Amino acid sequence: MPLDEYRRKRDFSKTPEPAGDKRAGSKRKRSPSAPPAFCVQKHLASHLHYDLRLEHDGVLLSWAVPKGPSLNPDDRRMAVRTEDHPRDYGGFEGVIPEGYGAGIVMLWDRGTWTPEVDDVDAALAKGDLKFSLDGYKLKGSWALVRIRDRSDTAPAQRGRNWLLIKHADFWSGPIDIAEFAPRSVVSDGDFDDILATDMPELWVTGRPATAAGRGSAARLTQQVIESAARKILARNEAVEPEPAGRKPRPRSRRKP
């Protein structure tokens, strides 16, 4: 059952993440001609990382990429295979207030992908998946290559370490895409905007409240709140405080 691990790690009474259809994993309601979807979710959890997800056989194959994708073919970005996610996870952006993955999820890129191999399952088994992406930020040809386990690789991590590599093509180059295009592909917001939208109670006079003693705010992990707050305070330094309870102005109208 492809989504067992996904569901085992989460309490859906406490997380806004989609539980996924019980039949997920079956090939259903899908036009055979529609190319499969991919997305990259920028996930501010205990550590910032980027989750690359490729739709295949009714689920999203998933890799956590700590440094994010690079358009530079010389970069080999560590990509740790994680549990398959339900297909509708590809539309998720929001705050996970507690539990597994607690933090803020931003939909950083999305689009479709095309395998450059005849048999995706065989390529995964072999540990060498070549594919192309057609997203807003990521395009062109890529490879995921599994790293051979070292003798000291922990049992739970065995077979999970891959490298994400951009092939040299029209879409490769020295630009730092994570730096150049850091915001949400759906809302154009940053983490603080997502936080303010999902949890307006965290906002006091245009600034983030601290988690301590603030009702639902306390449900967020201290670490994530502090991390988000640091970013927000740095961004808002030049901005006057706003009336209590208001969410901050959109970035476009803020001072740089």
Interface positions with Mn ion (CB under 5 A): 43, 51
Looking at the Cβ atoms of 104 and 209, the one nearer to Mn ion is: 104
CA distance 213 to 216: 9
With a CB cutoff of 8 Å and minimum separation 6, the contacts of 243 are: 205, 206
User: Tokens 């062109």 appear where?
Assistant: 140
CA distance 2 to 247: 39
Closest residue to Mn ion using C-beta atoms: 43
Looking at the Cβ atoms of 45 and 124, the one nearer to Mn ion is: 45
Looking at the Cβ atoms of 9 and 231, the one nearer to Mn ion is: 9
Looking at the Cβ atoms of 51 and 83, the one nearer to Mn ion is: 51
Q: Minimal distance in Å, beta carbon 114 to Mn ion?
A: 24
Of 93, 85, 19, 92, nearest to 58 (Cα)?
A: 85
Q: Minimal distance in Å, beta carbon 105 to Mn ion?
A: 7
Looking at the Cβ atoms of 82 and 132, the one nearer to Mn ion is: 82
Looking at the Cβ atoms of 51 and 84, the one nearer to Mn ion is: 51
Query: Contact at 8 Å (CB) between 40 and 71?
Result: no
Q: Minimal distance in Å, beta carbon 51 to Mn ion?
A: 4
CA distance 78 to 64: 8
Q: Minimal distance in Å, beta carbon 62 to Mn ion?
A: 8
Looking at the Cβ atoms of 43 and 110, the one nearer to Mn ion is: 43
State the amino acid at position 249 in one-letter form. Answer: R
Of 130, 36, 51, 112, nearest to 85 (Cα)?
A: 51
Q: Minimal distance in Å, beta carbon 117 to Mn ion?
A: 26
CA distance 50 to 65: 5
Alpha helices in 74-128 (DSSP H): 120-126
CA distance 4 to 48: 25
Q: Minimal distance in Å, beta carbon 176 to Mn ion?
A: 21
Q: Minimal distance in Å, beta carbon 45 to Mn ion?
A: 6
